[in-house]
Chains A and B, each alone.
Chain A
Amino acid sequence: MSETDQDMRADAPFPRIGRVGLDGLLVSFGDALSEPANRAALAFRAAVERATPEGVEESTTSLVSTFLRFDALRIEAADLKAEIQTLLDSCDWYAADLPEGRRLWRIPTVYGTDLAPQLAEAAEAAGLTAEAAAREIASTRVRVQTIGFAPGQPYLGELPEAWDIPRQTALTDRVPIGALTVAIRQLVLFSVSTPTGWRHIGQTAFRPFRPDAETPFVLRPGDEVIFDAIDRERYERLRGDSPDGGAVSEVIR
């Protein structure tokens, strides 16, 4: 089997290394979201950043993978792949610790109302009343599994089994910045206003992306979040205040 065929195989064992375009390598730790695979992806990226392999220009993680972009005109993909394989074999990444310096955030959230019109619909898909659904989400401490799709935008999980609900087939025209949405046992807190297939169940006054601030990207993978329920009146007061929207954070020890 040629190297190209290897790269394209969809049934190789994990972790596996594949190609993304001409200048990307993807180290995948699973084909479904799991807590160990998510930790492995984060820890492996940190190790790559420390090792600074020659020719690697940037790295990132998705839910269960580490991605490297390299200078394809300067270094051989096969050489880099061999170097990455050695690093991959050096320890059990699935048993790695979570990143250092993680924080716990509490982000005030209005559940339902006209601000977040799909709470009832999402609750029904999860087999709950709207009130029970809001209570359950507000009391679940979720973790930022990855930042992606849009700048600073977190994917958080994992929600209880009942929330394994599909994305909508038709897209919502546009959700506002700060929208809390749900699907497939995950929450996404939108950093831009965009169309989406995720259901809009809560609204925050929190801005995950602040291009002109000292910290433009506020949340980091590994951070944990509680979306505390507040009423509409409090939300209106918080809205004009600051891009934090009343959110507070403390370091997890």
Chain B
Amino acid sequence: MSRLIVHDAGPGVSVQDLGRPGYLAFGLSRGGAADRLAMAEGAALLHQSEGLAALEMAGMGGTFEVSHDTRIALTGAPMRASVDGAPLAWNASHLLHAGSRLSIGAATRGVYGYLHLGGGIATTERLGARSAHLAAGLGALITAGDDLPLGEDRTGAETGLVLPTDDRFEGGEVRVVPGFQTGFFSEEERARFAATQFTRAARGNRMGVRFDPDGEGFASTAGLSVLSEVIVPGDIQITGDGAPFVLMAECQTTGGYPRIGSVLPCDLPRVAQAQPGAQLRFRLITPEEGLAAERAAESARTGLRAKLDHLVRDPHDIRDLLSYQFISGVTAGHDEET
């Protein structure tokens, strides 16, 4: 069985898939990749299921090696990547030879980068998934010396594909739908919220991210006596000092701070990928508009494979032209080959 050998890992590297839905009643949030679109991109690049586990790398990657030649794809926050010193394109698939050293450095934009492997990471499932859920004590961060089993790569030898880069790594605007506690905020407060520029605070992780308003914090009529209620990823809690805190994949399942609304699921990757200091705005929309946006995002996600392009390499970058699989690396992309 193929293995991924970890020689060195940044401080926030973990195995992630799409998480564990269905355990809300037991107090366990779904978890899974912070940037779910990056999971879909990795799946498109490798022509495999987006449910396969990958390595999520917060801010910084690591140094890796594979025991057998393995297809890889790099998605999410662009990071400096190279194999044995030769730079690798991001948002692209590559063939990583056994014994070569894959180095993934700091993110140049965004927060979460992903290393996908042909066949996926095949660690043992716990409660139906492979995702580390650190807040629940399920799984652990990846550290130097770890050795992860890989699944069988059933979808052929195709590499050298690339997807267009996205603009979700620098903040921007995210859309928010109202919820059952939005009425705790006056119309004026809601309008001011929508007109305010926010800065992604240093405090943020897979559980939630804080945003500092450019101006005063936000007040609700809820007071501190509001009952703890169900929380879902995307909910925007207004904390004690009036700053919004957006709940992320690994959030708690109930919470007592009032919520002004919820970020659309399809805009959560933009929240996750906002680096400390990035500027963000919240646009308040209706549930109908939210549904239309979600449908559009869903169709873009399923259409990712149509956007695949062949990686064009500058001959000067190719250290050893003969080892570059010019032809076999870019077959038309069918899944039958084994």
Alpha-carbon separation in the docked complex, A19 to B261 (Å): 10
Instruction: Check if B232 is an interface residue, CB within 8 A of chain A.
Output: yes
Instruction: Specify which of B135, B178, B255 is in contact with A4 (CB 8 Å cutoff).
Output: B178
Alpha-carbon separation in the docked complex, A150 to B184 (Å): 26
List which A203-249 residues lie within 8 A (CB) of chain B: 209, 211-212, 216-217
- On whether the beta carbons of A21 and B27 are closer than 8 Å, the reply is no
Instruction: Check if A98 is an interface residue, CB within 8 A of chain B.
Output: no
Instruction: Check if A146 is an interface residue, CB within 8 A of chain B.
Output: yes
Nearest residue in B to A11 (C-beta to C-beta)?
A: B183
Scan B210-246; emit 1 where CB is below 8 A from any A CB, else 0: 0000000000011010111110101100000000000
List which A110-129 residues lie within 8 A (CB) of chain B: none
Q: What residues on A are CB-neighbors of B286 within 8 Å?
A: 4
Instruction: Specify which of A21, A166, A212 is in contact with B126 (CB 8 Å cutoff).
Output: A212
Instruction: Specify which of A19, A63, A217 is in contact with B227 (CB 8 Å cutoff).
Output: A63
Instruction: Check if A36 is an interface residue, CB within 8 A of chain B.
Output: no
Scan B263-302; emit 1 where CB is below 8 A from any A CB, else 0: 0110000000000000000000011001100110010000
- Most chain B CB atoms below 10 A, which of A57, A61, A216: A216
Q: What residues on A are CB-neighbors of B22 within 8 Å?
A: 57-58
- On whether the beta carbons of A9 and B26 are closer than 8 Å, the reply is no
Alpha-carbon separation in the docked complex, A211 to B137 (Å): 9
Instruction: Check if A60 is an interface residue, CB within 8 A of chain B.
Output: yes
- On whether the beta carbons of B177 and A24 are closer than 8 Å, the reply is no
Instruction: Check if B159 is an interface residue, CB within 8 A of chain A.
Output: no
Alpha-carbon separation in the docked complex, A58 to B26 (Å): 11
- On whether the beta carbons of A148 and B27 are closer than 8 Å, the reply is yes
- On whether the beta carbons of B21 and A21 are closer than 8 Å, the reply is no
Instruction: Check if A69 is an interface residue, CB within 8 A of chain B.
Output: yes
- On whether the beta carbons of A21 and B254 are closer than 8 Å, the reply is no
- Most chain A CB atoms below 10 A, which of B27, B178, B253: B27
Nearest residue in B to A5 (C-beta to C-beta)?
A: B183
Alpha-carbon separation in the docked complex, A73 to B226 (Å): 31
List which B1-28 residues lie within 8 A (CB) of chain A: 21-28
- Most chain B CB atoms below 10 A, which of A10, A18, A19, A67: A10
Alpha-carbon separation in the docked complex, A147 to B255 (Å): 12
- On whether the beta carbons of A22 and B265 are closer than 8 Å, the reply is yes
Instruction: Specify which of B27, B177, B295 is in contact with A147 (CB 8 Å cutoff).
Output: B27
Q: Which listed segment binds B: A27-35, A88-96, A100-108?
A: A27-35
Q: Classify chain A: how many residues form its interface, as a range.
A: 35 or more
- On whether the beta carbons of B287 and A8 are closer than 8 Å, the reply is no
Given A10-B181, A151-B27, A211-B127, answer yes or no on A60-B253 (Cβ-Cβ < 8 Å): yes
Given A8-B178, A62-B230, answer yes or no on A149-B183 (Cβ-Cβ < 8 Å): no
Q: What residues on A are CB-neighbors of B235 within 8 Å?
A: 20-21
- On whether the beta carbons of B229 and A26 are closer than 8 Å, the reply is yes
Instruction: Check if B91 is an interface residue, CB within 8 A of chain A.
Output: no
List which A1-17 residues lie within 8 A (CB) of chain B: 4, 7-11
Nearest residue in A to B22 (C-beta to C-beta)?
A: A58
- On whether the beta carbons of B25 and A60 are closer than 8 Å, the reply is yes
Instruction: Check if B131 is an interface residue, CB within 8 A of chain A.
Output: no
Instruction: Specify which of A67, A150, A151 is in contact with B230 (CB 8 Å cutoff).
Output: A67
- On whether the beta carbons of A64 and B227 are closer than 8 Å, the reply is yes
Instruction: Specify which of B127, B226, B291 is in contact with A22 (CB 8 Å cutoff).
Output: B291
Instruction: Specify which of A45, A64, A150 is in contact with B135 (CB 8 Å cutoff).
Output: A150
Instruction: Check if B63 is an interface residue, CB within 8 A of chain A.
Output: no
Scan A183-199; emit 1 where CB is below 8 A from any B CB, else 0: 00000000111100000
Alpha-carbon separation in the docked complex, A31 to B179 (Å): 16
Supply 18 further A-B pairs (C-beta < 8 A) apart from A9-B183, A22-B264, A73-B294: A10-B184, A10-B222, A19-B180, A20-B230, A22-B291, A24-B230, A57-B21, A57-B22, A58-B24, A59-B24, A62-B254, A64-B227, A69-B232, A72-B294, A147-B27, A149-B254, A150-B27, A217-B27
Q: Which 7 A-B pairs have the closest CB atoms?
A: A18-B180, A21-B262, A60-B25, A148-B254, A10-B183, A151-B28, A8-B183
Q: Could you write out 5 A-B pairs with CB less than 8 Å apart? A: A58-B24, A60-B24, A65-B229, A151-B27, A217-B28
